[in-house]
Structure formats: C-alpha cells, structure tokens
Structure 1
Amino acid sequence: MKNVFVTGGSGFVGKRLIARLREMNVRVVALVRSDEAAAALEGPGVVTRRGDLQDEMALTEGMQGCDTVFHVAGHLSEWDPHTLFREANVDGTRKMLAAAKAAGASTFVAAGAAAVVMGRPKPMRDVSEDATLQRPSWAPYIATKADADQMVRQANTAAFRTIVVRPPLIWGEGMPMLDAMVETARAGHFALPDGGGQLMSTSHVDNVVACLLLAAEKGRGGQAYHVTDGQAGTLKQVITDLLGTRDVPPIQRSAPFGIAWRMAAVMETVWRMFHLRSKPPITRQTLRMIGQDFTLDISKARSDLGYTPVVTWAEGIARMRG
C-alpha cells in the first residue's frame, strides 16, 4: 500500500484514517466536495481532488496510480428521503467500484455498518458476519448499506480484492452525533428504551481505522469483518459515559420499547403524509439500532487480520474528558 484514494476524508472516520496513513508515509488522494474540506486535509503527503460519488469520470481520474481505495463516505441520518440514502450508499458505491476497476486499483476496502443484519426487533448477541443481510422498508440506512455491502463483496475477483469492515456505534473525540445527544438530553427529551439495560457493541474511531488498515493489508477478498472495542456495555452505561464527557447528568427517563416502536411508526406516517421538513422525535430505524441487545463477534477479525482493539472504552472516555 503506497498510494491510496480515500472518500469521506473530511468526516469523522476519514480524518483519522488519513492522519494514520500520513504517519505511515502513504501517499493519499482524498475526494472532497468543497474548498473548506480541501483546506482542512491538504498537507504533506495528501492531495485533494474535487468531485463527488456520482461523477465516475472524476473518480477514475483521481484514482489513477492508486493501488488501494478506502471508501468511507456515505449517508447516515435518522430521517431523510429514501432517494438520498440510495444515491449515496448504493449508487455511489457502484460508481466507486467501477472507477476503482477502471483505474487499476487492486484493493477496495469499504466502511460498512454492523446494522446491516438488523431486521424486525429482537435481541441479537455475538452476531457473526455470516448473519443474513436485512433490508427493512422503514430503515433506509440499513437497507441501502446492506445493498452496498453485498455489492462490494460480490465485486471481488482474483485481480480486485474487495472487503467490507462493519463497525457498530462509532465514537470518540469529535463524534458528530454527541452534540445532538447533549442538546436532546439537556432539553429533557431523552428517554432510554426499557431503561437502557440492553447490551450493545461499540467501536472507537481509532479501532475502526486500525481494522480498515488491517483489512487492506490482510483481509480475504469478498469478506466482511466486524470491528468493536472488544467489550460490550449497556445502552445506559454507554449514553451515561458519553454525556458525562460534557458534564450532562445520567438519563433517568425510560420508555417501554413496544410503545415507543408503535409511536415511531405513527410519527413516520404523519411526517410523510404532511411532508414535514423536520424529523420525527423518534424513528423505528433509530429504535432498532439501540432498543434491543446487539453485540458482535469479532473472532474473524482477530484470526484473519490479527485485529486487537487499540483503544479501550475507559481510555477513549478519558480522552474525551480531556
């Protein structure tokens, strides 16, 4: 790995990935959509290329001379038109794969999502990578990431190695969703489904980056790999610790999952019927991700890649407290 092409370089994971690649003296070409993003990334060993995931010609030109492609960009949101998710997560991935093949890249690593195996609500523990992909109609992020995941792995050939790395909740210093969580908690609008006792896996951003790099080096083509912090926590513990880094007291409010699920379905119907521009207070997609036990088995990443978490939960929380 000498020359790499990175999408999503100005995002939470992409910035950390590029910083690590620079430390490794790897030349980076980063796809950016704005002058602001370019200015934030440019430096020794990094070249920026203006464009987006829909411009296959620009992508192919930018990838010239790159042996490895890290596709980190995507659309993650609680509530948006399905077309936005499909355009970014499915159509964008399709164009990225075509461009990488045309440019002669030999390795393609995509940042996927562990949520791609989430269908109807039920507890799921120690989930392995061979669990069936799900495409719920009420969860456009899950459905489109599942399509992209399958597309990447099926594109694998002897000359073009493709791998997907699937993290659960990604956290750490600068995590984008923490600001919204803090605002909701301080406004008194945060309630934990069933008291927050459900188990969940998490992955510090530096652990995600470590697994992406190992996947590029050692990953088996056509495979997916789970990445976590190596330990599970309860939703209440995770939320309490994250909010605590901003001196927000623990959430005390609780809501029965079943009632919240039905309310979310009604809200989604109302929002769509009246074309409301705001987002519903809660969606089934969000509830599905946090409302039931969901832990991952990372033995495949450990055995195939030699993956070991580089940051523990306690270490990461301490960093966020400064």
Structure 2
Amino acid sequence: MRVFVTGGSGFVGGRLIAALKARGDEVRALARSDKAAETVRALGAEPVRGDLDDAGALRRGMEGCDAVIHSAAHVKTWGHPEEFFRINVEGTQRVVDAARGAKVKVLVHLGSESMFVGGKPIVQADESWKRPEKPLGLYPLTKGLAEERVLAANGQDGLRTVVVRPRLIWGKGDLAVLPEIIEKVRSGQFRWIGGGHYLTSTCHVSNVVEGILLAIEKGRGGEAYFLTDGAPVEFRAFVTRMLDTAGVKAPEGSLPRGVANVLATVAETAWRVLPLGGEPPIHRSTLRLIGEEVTVNDAKARAELGYVGRMTHEAGLAEMRS
C-alpha cells in the first residue's frame, strides 16, 4: 500500500511509520519543520513539507495513496481557543477534504476518549456513548468535533472513514504523559488524587498501531473503535511502575478529590481573568481524565477488527527499561 501519515514525527506516528515500512508499505508523512522532516525520513518515510493549514501540501502528499492516517493534533490542556479549533477541527476538515479530492480509499483518524469529559463519569464507556453537550476543556471539545467531521465524511467520493480511540497511550519514547508526570514529581508538585486507588484503561503504543492497521483493513465505514491493553489496572500501581522504569520513586502525597476540583476551578478562573503567564497548575479536564476512574470497553474492536492488543504491560514496561 501507499500510505500518507500526519503526525509522523510524534510518538504514535513514529511507531506507525516503522510498522508500515516493516510490512513493505510506501509511506509519505507530513512534516512541518526541518527537524520533523529529518525524523520521518530516518524512519523510512518520504517527507511532505507543510502542515494542517496547507491544503496544497495535504493534497500533494495524498495523491496516489490508498490510505491516510491522521494522528496529528494540538494535544494541550490549555491555550487559545483559536489554535485548538484551527488545528484540531479545521485541520482535520482539510485532511478529509484532501483525502476526498485525492480519491483515497480509507481514512483512519486517531480519536480520544477525552471527548466525553464533561458528561457522566467515563466508566466502561463503549461506542454507543454520546458526546456531552458541554465538553470540559478545549482539547475534549475540539477532538469531539474533529471526530464528528471525519465520520460524517464516510462514503463521500468513495472515502471510507474510521476512528480509533485508544485510552492513555504509553510506552518507550512517550513524549507527553510520563515526562510530564516525572517533571511534576521532581518539582514536588505531584499529588495522587484521592489516593490514586481507582481503575484506568491503558493502551500501549504498539497496540495503538495494531488497531490502526486493522482499522485500515477491516474497519467499518462511519464507525469508531475503542482500543485498550485489556483489563483495567489500578492507576496508582501502573504509574508507579512506569516511574520505576525511569528510576523515579513515586511520591506518597495525596489530595482529596473535592479539594482538587475546587483548586482547579479557582486556578482556571484566575488564569482567564488575570494577566498570568503559562497555564494553571491544575486543570479540571485533567482531573477527570487521570484523577478518577476512566475505563473503556474495546469489545467491538476485538470482535470486528480481530484486535488482540498483543503488547502486555509486562513486556511494555520491560521495553521501557531497556
């Protein structure tokens, strides 16, 4: 196959390019900088210079491709609304439009369970769940709107669109989750919320790639699929083991959930109305995603795609230590 990838220089994108090349596919990857171009070239992909604002670059990259994998996104917890909408919503729409124009057969979009933040607790969520009317945070809001546009395009100009939603992506080379936790631990800012003794679903980056490749082949058009490593695990125990792979001892400090919610609300309000730099030290959306149980059900992916989730926690943690 010939595949076009957005976000190819990122954590998921890099693993994805490597997997595609290993099975003999020809890969092109969007690269918005010289550094990104060097990264994807080293992985074996042909860089296509441009970004999600560049409709021409997207169209050029997709010409002659069989599939498009859209993994690029503005993954932040705080910032200007215009930037979130420009990248996550309008950028995704440009990807969809370019795929339709290039007569691509299938588009797989990397979604997120975060789109449900702001509604009821995300406990054993499945694909029948509806987005809340008022998502909590710009990332959940714009990821939900992006997914809506992808699924709405299914069948247009012969394009089949599929969404995969991994929960809490982790693994060796993680550029976001573990490094941020380590930074907060070392600065003394990290606290377990309510002790951290609640369940969470997780999805190793190799399992994310497995799900994406299966979605290209078997995903039903206009459908979304959750992906996990299997049975949920205790959040505190899992994060403690990840920290251990980096030689970092997990802290003992804890913060009651009610107190954390009050602090997050006050902090977000202060950062909105006062000329404060940076971002709040705590966010309500983050509390909902890692400060309480978040579990999703991937039975649909296992039944329809043949998804297994072959990378276990033990193997993934061992890889992180290597």
TM-score, length of structure 2 as denominator length: 0.96
Pair 193,94 (structure 1): closer, same or farther in 2 beyond 3 Å = same
Aligned to 1:94: 93
Distance 1:44 1:148, change over 3 A: closer
- What's the C-alpha RMSD, in Å, of the aligned pairs? 1.4
Give per-residue Cα distances to partners, 1:240-264, cap 9 Å, x unaligned: 1111111211221111111111110
Do the aligned partners of residues 135 and 287 (structure 1) sit closer, same or farther apart at CA in structure 2, a change above 3 Å counting?
farther
Q: Using the TM superposition, give the Cα deviation of residue 124 of structure 1 relative to its aligned residue in structure 2, in angstroms.
A: 3.1
Letter in 1 for 2:220: R
Partner of 1:309: 309
Q: For 2:53 and 2:212, how far apart are their aligned partners in 1?
A: 23
Counterpart in the other structure of 1:246: 246
Secondary structure in 2 matching 1:211: helix
What residue in structure 2 maps to residue 217 of structure 1?
A: 217
**204 and 135 in structure 1: CA distance in 2 versus 1, 3 angstrom threshold:** farther
Unaligned runs of 5+ in 1: none
Per-residue CA deviations over 1:104-157 (Å, capped at 9, x if unaligned) read: 10100000101212224x543221011011354541100100001111111101
State the identity %.
Answer: 43
Quick check: 2:111–2:164 contact (8 Å CA) kept in 1? yes
Following TM superposition, by how much is the alpha carbon of 1:44 offset from its aligned partner in structure 2, in angstroms?
8.2
Cα distance between partner residues in 2 of 1:294 and 1:138: 15
- C-alpha separation between the residues in 1 aligned to 2:70 and 2:289? 23
The alignment status of 1:286 with 2:321, answered yes or no, reads no
Query: Alignment partner of 2:124: what SS?
Result: strand
SS in 2 for 1:175: coil
Question: Aligned with 1:163: secondary structure?
Answer: strand
The secondary structure found in structure 2 opposite 1:110 is strand
Aligned-partner Cα distance in 2 for 1:262–1:300: 37
In the other structure, the counterpart of 1:277 is 277
Q: 1:290 to 1:43 in 2, by over 3 A?
A: closer
Choose 163-172 or 77-86, whichever is displaced more.
77-86
Question: Partners in 2 of 1:277 and 1:4 — Cα distance?
Answer: 41
1:54 aligned to 2:48? no
Counterpart amino acid of residue 151 in structure 1? R
Going from structure 1 to structure 2, the CA distance change for 1:129 and 1:236 (only over 3 Å counts) comes to same
- After TM superposition, which residue ranges in structure 1, 4 or more long, deviate above 6 angstroms? none
Q: Which amino acid aligns with 1:279?
A: E
Residues of 1 paired with 2:283 and 2:134: CA distance?
A: 13
Give the secondary structure class of the aligned counterpart of 1:224.
Answer: strand
Tell me if structure 2 keeps the 8 A contact 1:89–1:148: yes
Q: Which aligned pairs between 1:10-49 and structure 2 lie closer than 5 A?
A: 10-42=9-41, 46-49=45-48
Cα drift, residue 184 of structure 1: 0.9
Paired position in structure 2 for 1:145: 143
**Equivalent residue runs for 1:222-241 within 5 Å:** 222-241=222-241
User: For residues 137 and 167 of structure 1, what CA distance do their matches in structure 2 show?
Assistant: 19
Structure 1 counterpart of 2:296: 296
Amino acid at match of 2:155: T
Tell me the distance in 2 between the aligned counterparts of 1:305 and 1:20.
Answer: 18
Instruction: Give the Å deviation of 1:76.
Output: 0.7
Matched, 1:71 2:54: no
Q: What is the correspondence of 1:248-263 to structure 2 with a 5 Å cutoff?
A: 248-263=248-263
User: Matched residues in 1 for 2:210 and 2:95: separation?
Assistant: 22
Q: Go from structure 1 to structure 2 and tell me whether the alpha carbon gap of 1:88 and 1:44 turns closer, same or farther (over 3 Å shift).
A: closer
How do 1:107-256 residues align onto structure 2 when only pairs under 5 Å count? 107-120=106-119, 122-134=120-132, 136=134, 138-157=136-155, 159-177=158-176, 178-256=178-256
Q: Deviations over 1:256-307 (max 9, x none)?
A: 1111111101101111112322111100111111122111111100011000
In structure 2, runs of 5+ residues without a counterpart are: none
Q: Secondary structure at the match of 1:296?
A: coil
SS of equivalent to 2:281: coil
SS of structure 1 residue aligned to 2:295? strand
Structure 2 CA distance for aligned equivalents of residues 197 and 84 of structure 1: 35
**Cα deviation, residue 313, structure 1:** 1.0
Could you say which residue in structure 1 is the equivalent of 2:82? 83
Q: How far 1:45 sits from its partner (Å)? A: 5.3
User: Does the CA contact (< 8 Å) of 1:116 and 1:135 recur in 2?
Assistant: no
